[in-house]
């Protein structure tokens, strides 16, 4: 895993920096009753490693909670929901703390999901499917477009599109991704297989044989075109052609594939839903 960033991320750092950290009306509370705090119902992270919580709890016993939790009032009850700091909250309870430092912020359900996403993404804590599920929730429940989400998360629209497409994988393959048996690269390669039974069978082979992403891409080619045909059709593109394909994919926001055939070839643009087809046709007509 890449080195974790020390910053809180744009959303969280701005949130804390804008708060007056002194005075009786301050949103910052040095000692807040931990029993009044509940987990974020919009928390995108599905799994938290118990061993990781034990490590954080040990650190909290030694040094206390250095970074305050960000919480918001539950409009339908007496408790407060966590916006950011889910692991610190759980570890603090594990460490036996009765009070924790907090910053109280007025927040809508959409903001609760967005800020929790920012915290987890910038700390590289989320599984690709957890990110995809949260992005889809922002899209379906709160009406955000993929462009809106990309701006809020600081990611390209293509990255958002590719994440959401992972949700089209069969549940058995999604489990492999959630359990980190398959990487996002493996999963994206598997999306090139059209029928679910072949896709699941391929995923089982990849996990069993511990295939690399490149080997997975080759396996997908063989499944789609047949082993012998795949050998004949394999093509090594020159640098200029690869760059052109990358620019096409970047501009359209959809995966493109160039295939050499016995006579000529074909350029394939893959989409998964009718709405994606509408979006694609609109872009091609521009």
The catalytic residue positions are 86
Q: 123: closest CA among 15, 14, 1? A: 1
- Sign for the CA dihedral angle at 140, 198, 258, 262 comes to negative
| 167 within 8 A of 132, measured Cβ to Cβ | yes
User: Distance between CA atoms of 101 and 267, rounded to whole angstroms?
Assistant: 56
User: Distance between CA atoms of 201 and 217, rounded to whole angstroms?
Assistant: 14
| 265 within 8 A of 257, measured Cβ to Cβ | no
User: Distance between CA atoms of 233 and 235, rounded to whole angstroms?
Assistant: 6
* Cβ contacts of 243 within 8 Å, gap of 6 or more: none
- The most distant pair of C-alpha atoms in the chain lies apart, rounded to whole Å, by 78
| Rounded alpha-carbon distances, angstroms, from residue 126 to 48, 49, 50, 69, 139 | 10, 12, 15, 19, 18
User: Distance between CA atoms of 57 and 88, rounded to whole angstroms?
Assistant: 8
Angle at 169 between CA 140 and CA 149, to 5 degrees: 35
* Cβ contacts of 202 within 8 Å, gap of 6 or more: 190, 193, 216, 219, 220, 223
Helices 157-165 and 146-153: crossing angle in degrees, nearest 10, is: 110
| 156 within 8 A of 67, measured Cβ to Cβ | no
């Amino acid at each position: 895993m890449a080195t974790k960033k020390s910053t809180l991320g744009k959303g969280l750092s701005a949130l804390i920096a804008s708060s007056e950290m002194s005075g009786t009306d301050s949103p910052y509370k040095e000692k807040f009753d931990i029993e009044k705090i509940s987990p974020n119902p919009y928390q995108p992270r599905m799994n938290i490693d118990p061993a990781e919580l034990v490590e954080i709890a040990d650190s909290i016993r030694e040094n206390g909670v250095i970074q305050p939790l960000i919480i918001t009032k539950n409009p339908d009850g007496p408790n407060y929901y966590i916006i950011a700091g889910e692991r610190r909250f759980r570890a603090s309870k594990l460490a036996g703390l009765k009070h924790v430092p907090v910053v109280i912020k007025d927040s809508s359900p959409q903001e609760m999901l967005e800020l929790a996403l920012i915290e987890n993404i910038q700390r590289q804590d989320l599984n690709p499917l957890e990110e995809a599920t949260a992005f889809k929730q922002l899209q379906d429940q709160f009406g955000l477009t993929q462009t809106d989400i990309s701006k809020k998360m600081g990611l390209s629209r293509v990255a958002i599109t590719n994440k959401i497409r992972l949700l089209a994988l069969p549940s058995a393959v999604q489990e492999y991704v959630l359990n980190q048996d398959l990487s996002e690269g493996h999963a994206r390669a598997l999306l090139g297989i059209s029928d679910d039974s072949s896709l699941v069978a391929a995923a089982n082979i990849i996990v069993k044989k511990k295939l690399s992403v490149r080997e997975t891409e080759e396996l997908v080619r063989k499944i789609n075109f047949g082993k012998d045909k795949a050998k004949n059709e394999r093509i090594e593109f020159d640098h200029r052609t690869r760059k052109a394909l990358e620019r096409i994919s970047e501009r359209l926001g959809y995966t493109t594939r160039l295939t050499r055939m016995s006579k000529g070839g074909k350029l394939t643009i893959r989409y998964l839903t009718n709405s994606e087809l509408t979006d694609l046709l609109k872009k091609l007509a521009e």
